[in-house]
Structure 1
Amino acid sequence: MRPPTDNTEYANMPAMDDQADADRSTAPVDPERVGQAETGHRARRTFAIISHPDAGKTTLTEKLLLAGGAIEMAGAVRSKGDGRRAKSDWMDIEKSRGISVTSSVMTFEKNGITFNLLDTPGHSDFSEDTYRTLTAVDSAIMVIDAAKGIETQTRKLFEICRLRDIPIVTFVNKIDREGRDPFELLDEIEEMLALSVAPVVWPVGQGGQFKGCYDLASNDFLAAGRTRDVTHTEGLDDPALAALIPADIHAPFRDAASLASEGYADFDPVAYRQGHLTPVIFGSALQNFAVDRLLDLIAAHAPSPRPQPSDKGPIDPDGDRVSGFVFKVQANMDPKHRDRVAFVRFCSGHFKRGMKLDHVRSGKALAVSNPIYFFAQERARTEEAFAGDVIGIPNHGTLRVGDTLSEGESFRFTGLPAFAPEVLRRVRLEDSMKLKQLRRALDDLAEEGLVQVFRPSIGSTWIVGVVGPLQLDVLASRIAAEYKADVTFEPVTSSVARWIRSDSESALAAFIKENITHVARDRDERPVFLCRDDWDLRFTMERNKDIIFDATREIVGQ
């Protein structure tokens, strides 16, 4: 991990845990004191960034790393040269297309706070990876394009956050470009997401007239321009502020900022952590405006690790015994070594390198001798971790998504979702001599969650299931690049897949026998019913009332 830097910024309010909410002060504090007051898991902030594609999520990720001192230079995703690629987009296909297709984890420190930043794919075709990643975070940043407002994928991801009671900070991006009226955007957030909004940083001008940002809590003016001067003022009516902004921009800005302060809710840290209110920061990730304020707010007010659900009840982060769960597996992060790394979110205890943890699914002890912290594709060995931390455990297939690790306790974490695929295709191998490579590729990539693999009861070909067609492009690209096998995908007669189960074993066996040509097995040998379309599914369900057809299932280490 990189050491904290001396680049401190001004936070809006002090930070305390929810137990101290009644004693919370409303005076601004130096963010350095936040880290000094918190240690162990209370000094962890594990958060995701969610958005619709092209809202600027990956650029914001880089600028947060820059604000945290984790990198010295930020490079645009589409800049020339590999040296200026986005740090969180490390796969070849991500670099070539300028999109995120897999979740990345980046751990860094600033002022005594350890940030675990999880960058998620914005494209809906990779939503399953995003949903699982959201089970491992305690808060989220929602990025909105100032010209577009709330978009489809943003709303879907927000609903997942709502279901998990994940508090959200809103960053309205690209305010330096022509966009919608800020009040219109605030009203849209309130109406579409049913959240109270609290403007925290307000734009001074917009588009071609953009002159900077104003922190409504600290009364700091962040000026645009090369110098990026920060001027503390006595308020919106301070003559010193008027002297810094052209008159034709200052007057409408002052009126708008006053109306925003009076017309919307004040920032309440308790309401934010309870998911009833979202603080809103207007800024520009590309121009690095207000990004430091965003990081300060996360440090000061985002929740430290929260209790995690399990089959034995919530697991408290204050617990002495170490526990965690695997929310992601990534194959070939280092293509030279064909490695497989399990991403583990710790939920309680104080982990130390070399500890033996119980692998609940297998009932065996697992010695964790080489735990690693991530910085996208880069990694470094770590000696310890606390609740809220995300580490990687290199392994050869021992750990799978949904697995629970614990220190002498037998329980399973719950809440990781799997979804029925929406696109089904038959795999066609161009070179039959590469069958072994294909088998390994499908096994590895299914374990990651990139694809679901089904083996029909009759026939020898594999059928893959994905959420959207872009996943097929990524799948073919990765099989070619990482396993040296060329594949294409052919249409199948089925377009709908459902896991099937029943309270009656005999009824399930009879159904499978009667529909053997439409039944396949997934990689866990669960029976899956494949049918032509939704009408065919409804017809089959009407005729088989004792069979349960599941569109989703929970991943729990069995």
Structure 2
Amino acid sequence: MQIESDLAELGMEVDRRRNFAIISHPDAGKTTLTEKLLLYGGAIQEAGAVKAKRSQRSATSDWMEMEQQRGISITSTVMQFEYQKHLLNLLDTPGHQDFSEDTYRTLAAADNAVMLIDAAKGLETQTRKLFEVCRMRSLPIFTFVNKLDRPSMSPLELIDEIEQELGLTTYVVNWPIGTGDQFQGVYDRRQKIIHLFGRTSHGSKKATKTVVAIDDPEIESLIAPNLYAQLLEDLELLDGISGELDLQAIHRGKVTPVFFGSAMNNFGVELFLEAFLEYALKPTTHHSDRGDISPIHPEFSGFVFKLQANMDPKHRDRIAFLRVCSGKFEKDMVVTHARTGKQMRLSRPQKLFAQDRETVETAYAGDVVGLNNPGSFVIGDTVCVGSKLRYPNIPSFSPELFAYLRNTDPTKYKSFNKGVSELQEEGAVQILNSTDESKRDPVLAAVGQLQFEVVQFRLAQEYGVETYLDMLPYSVARWVVDGWDALEKVGRLFNTFIVRDRWERPVLLFKNQWNLEQVKSDHPDLALSPISLPPS
């Protein structure tokens, strides 16, 4: 009876959970949408705009000092809130392209993705890249077209762009009434009613709205005649080209439900949230070396997808973000660390809300738990109870910028090494080392320049170490698949810089793609990889 009761509890908790990440190009309004979802979920009482000129405080999800200074998201954060008896886990990701690897790791922990598009700009470079990651993982994708209260492309143009460029079938859930300064609200095709919105002060409070049926006699006094006529014409066209809603196709990532609105002014945010709960995929199976593991599998398991040092500068903490995949997580439980085989007690689990946290007593599939991390975890680690299993490792990708990191003050050698080690551990940047023992300065390897700036900023702020960079003339990295023995067999390589990664494995740096192709041509048996995985 107890087993049946436990399984029933597991099933109920999994059914009410929804887990999602938001992806977008920088400045599409991702942090703003995140805060408005929290506002409607009751997690915050008033939304704080990112830009300081519009707010007395910083956005909840942008907690790092550098984020607050620049008004951009450069770390992933996790926020949990309840809405209509559901529990939502929102994984906010960096929008800046230099931090796409952090976003990739976060998407590994997500069950759904919300693709945010600026209505004036349509699909942008970073959105396309992140969409491909979602497609690779077959994530359901929900599209929110933002900033309809500003001059924008026509809604039909935007729909066509998504279908033509991404190969996604669209299913329009709500349709805008006017755009720019004429944007008055949306028509909800689910319930066949019109929502007219009233503006609030920079959207800091929930939007006021008037709800009317599309054939209500009062409608012509509420909407300009030309906008009403355009709405009827658009809806007739949509009904002609749209098929029936196919929930299975949404869950396979083949069809994207589309929503229109303005996150800054709260237009359409609550409608999106309500439909998302209805259409989104609840926590599902995860593939492991023991086959697919169901979220209601009675034995607990999960994997680490992110590490973060110094979220609380007062305590110099190090947190591992754990995605729960199956069973029930309980405070003080003893688990097996799959990579090391060691037993460990999870004694200080925390629920994360951006920088804030509180102790977690229990968690279920789809939840994210913060674990105190005294150097025990690397990204991709699996922990489990009962029969040992491992979830797939999370890869690192080829960086494109390289520089020696120099410590300006030799007396701070220990602080420098500690900072570099901890930032490497959390994946803020890849750290490589020269094979020449006399060269002790680490080589920073990054996707973009901003990663270098963040490392230097955090070393100064969190570890009290000032540094400078010596840029290196390389732009391509490849890991030697078969290790040092394979490298020794090929002998001397030209136009190549050989370094070691954190696992002491050989990495080749090339000045350009042409140099890489030359080495591959000269040594066809030398297997090279653009990605690296932690050792098994």
**Pair 1:515–1:405, CA change in 2 (3 A):** farther
In structure 1, the partner of 2:240 is 262
| In the alignment, structure 1 residue 182 sits paired with structure 2 residue 162 | no
Matched-pair contact (CA < 8 Å) for 1:221–1:230: no
In structure 1, the partner of 2:19 is 46
In structure 1, the partner of 2:512 is 533
Residues 317-341 of structure 1 deviation map (CA, whole Å, 9 limit, x = unaligned): 1211000000000000011111100
- CA offset at residue 296 of structure 1? 1.2
For residues 373 and 444 of structure 1, the distance between their equivalents in structure 2, rounded to whole angstroms, comes to 22
For residues 37 and 288 of structure 1, the distance between their equivalents in structure 2, rounded to whole angstroms, comes to 34
After TM superposition, the structure 1 = structure 2 runs for residues 31-70 of structure 1, keeping only pairs within 5 Å, are 39-70=12-43
In structure 1, the partner of 2:170 is 197
For residues 481 and 301 of structure 1, the distance between their equivalents in structure 2, rounded to whole angstroms, comes to 43
| In the alignment, structure 1 residue 417 sits paired with structure 2 residue 390 | no
Matched-pair contact (CA < 8 Å) for 2:400–2:474: no
Q: 1:474 is aligned with what amino acid?
A: V
Find the partner of 2:326 among 348, 352, 361: 348
- CA offset at residue 432 of structure 1? 1.5
Matched-pair contact (CA < 8 Å) for 1:457–1:516: no
In structure 2, the partner of 1:252 is 230
Worse-matched range after superposition: 207-216 or 223-232: 223-232
For residues 265 and 83 of structure 2, the distance between their equivalents in structure 1, rounded to whole angstroms, comes to 21
In structure 2, the partner of 1:337 is 315
After TM superposition, the structure 1 = structure 2 runs for residues 514-553 of structure 1, keeping only pairs within 5 Å, are 518-553=497-532
For residues 352 and 398 of structure 1, the distance between their equivalents in structure 2, rounded to whole angstroms, comes to 19
For residues 70 and 387 of structure 2, the distance between their equivalents in structure 1, rounded to whole angstroms, comes to 45
For residues 292 and 353 of structure 1, the distance between their equivalents in structure 2, rounded to whole angstroms, comes to 34
For residues 57 and 295 of structure 1, the distance between their equivalents in structure 2, rounded to whole angstroms, comes to 15
For residues 515 and 448 of structure 1, the distance between their equivalents in structure 2, rounded to whole angstroms, comes to 33
Worse-matched range after superposition: 327-336 or 261-270: 261-270
Q: 1:138 is aligned with what amino acid?
A: D
Matched-pair contact (CA < 8 Å) for 2:195–2:209: yes
For residues 249 and 517 of structure 1, the distance between their equivalents in structure 2, rounded to whole angstroms, comes to 63
Matched residue SS, 2:287: coil
| In the alignment, structure 1 residue 554 sits paired with structure 2 residue 533 | yes
After TM superposition, the structure 1 = structure 2 runs for residues 23-422 of structure 1, keeping only pairs within 5 Å, are 39-80=12-53, 84-226=57-199, 228-234=207-213, 236-414=214-392, 416-422=394-400
Matched-pair contact (CA < 8 Å) for 1:346–1:390: yes
Matched-pair contact (CA < 8 Å) for 2:199–2:265: no
Worse-matched range after superposition: 313-322 or 332-341: 313-322
**Pair 1:38–1:224, CA change in 2 (3 A):** farther
TM-score, with normalisation over the residues of structure 1?
0.89
In structure 1, the partner of 2:4 is none
Matched residue SS, 2:104: helix
Matched residue SS, 2:162: helix
For residues 221 and 306 of structure 1, the distance between their equivalents in structure 2, rounded to whole angstroms, comes to 34
- CA offset at residue 438 of structure 1? 1.4
- CA offset at residue 421 of structure 1? 0.8
Worse-matched range after superposition: 127-136 or 80-89: 80-89
- CA offset at residue 443 of structure 1? 0.9
For residues 451 and 37 of structure 1, the distance between their equivalents in structure 2, rounded to whole angstroms, comes to 38
Worse-matched range after superposition: 270-279 or 184-193: 270-279
Q: 2:450 is aligned with what amino acid?
A: L
Residues 95-114 of structure 1 deviation map (CA, whole Å, 9 limit, x = unaligned): 00000001010011122211
In structure 2, the partner of 1:14 is none
**Pair 1:128–1:248, CA change in 2 (3 A):** same
After TM superposition, the structure 1 = structure 2 runs for residues 398-547 of structure 1, keeping only pairs within 5 Å, are 398-414=376-392, 416-458=394-436, 459-502=439-482, 506-511=485-490, 518-547=497-526
TM-score, with normalisation over the residues of structure 2?
0.93
Residues 425-463 of structure 1 deviation map (CA, whole Å, 9 limit, x = unaligned): 111211111221111111111111111111101122211
Q: 1:166 is aligned with what amino acid?
A: L
Q: 1:86 is aligned with what amino acid?
A: A
Q: 1:276 is aligned with what amino acid?
A: K
For residues 251 and 212 of structure 2, the distance between their equivalents in structure 1, rounded to whole angstroms, comes to 29
In the alignment, structure 2 segments of 5+ residues that lack a partner are 1-8, 201-206
Matched residue SS, 2:293: coil
**Pair 1:347–1:463, CA change in 2 (3 A):** same
**Pair 1:380–1:460, CA change in 2 (3 A):** same
**RMSD of equivalent CA atoms:** 2.1
Matched residue SS, 2:52: coil
Q: Percent identity?
A: 46
- CA offset at residue 512 of structure 1? 7.3
Matched-pair contact (CA < 8 Å) for 1:106–1:375: yes
- CA offset at residue 498 of structure 1? 1.3
Matched-pair contact (CA < 8 Å) for 1:323–1:346: yes
Matched-pair contact (CA < 8 Å) for 1:219–1:233: no
For residues 446 and 166 of structure 2, the distance between their equivalents in structure 1, rounded to whole angstroms, comes to 28
Residues 373-413 of structure 1 deviation map (CA, whole Å, 9 limit, x = unaligned): 11100001111011111000012111111110010222211
Matched-pair contact (CA < 8 Å) for 1:74–1:84: no
For residues 516 and 479 of structure 1, the distance between their equivalents in structure 2, rounded to whole angstroms, comes to 32
Matched residue SS, 2:321: strand
Worse-matched range after superposition: 125-134 or 213-222: 213-222
In the alignment, structure 1 segments of 5+ residues that lack a partner are 1-35
For residues 521 and 512 of structure 1, the distance between their equivalents in structure 2, rounded to whole angstroms, comes to 17
Matched residue SS, 1:351: strand
For residues 299 and 347 of structure 2, the distance between their equivalents in structure 1, rounded to whole angstroms, comes to 18
- CA offset at residue 81 of structure 1? 8.7
Residues 325-369 of structure 1 deviation map (CA, whole Å, 9 limit, x = unaligned): 000000000111111000000110011111101001111111011
Q: 2:453 is aligned with what amino acid?
A: D
Matched-pair contact (CA < 8 Å) for 1:87–1:376: yes
Matched-pair contact (CA < 8 Å) for 1:167–1:273: yes
Worse-matched range after superposition: 339-348 or 413-422: 413-422
Matched-pair contact (CA < 8 Å) for 2:338–2:383: yes
- CA offset at residue 130 of structure 1? 0.3
Worse-matched range after superposition: 262-271 or 327-336: 262-271
Matched-pair contact (CA < 8 Å) for 1:476–1:487: yes
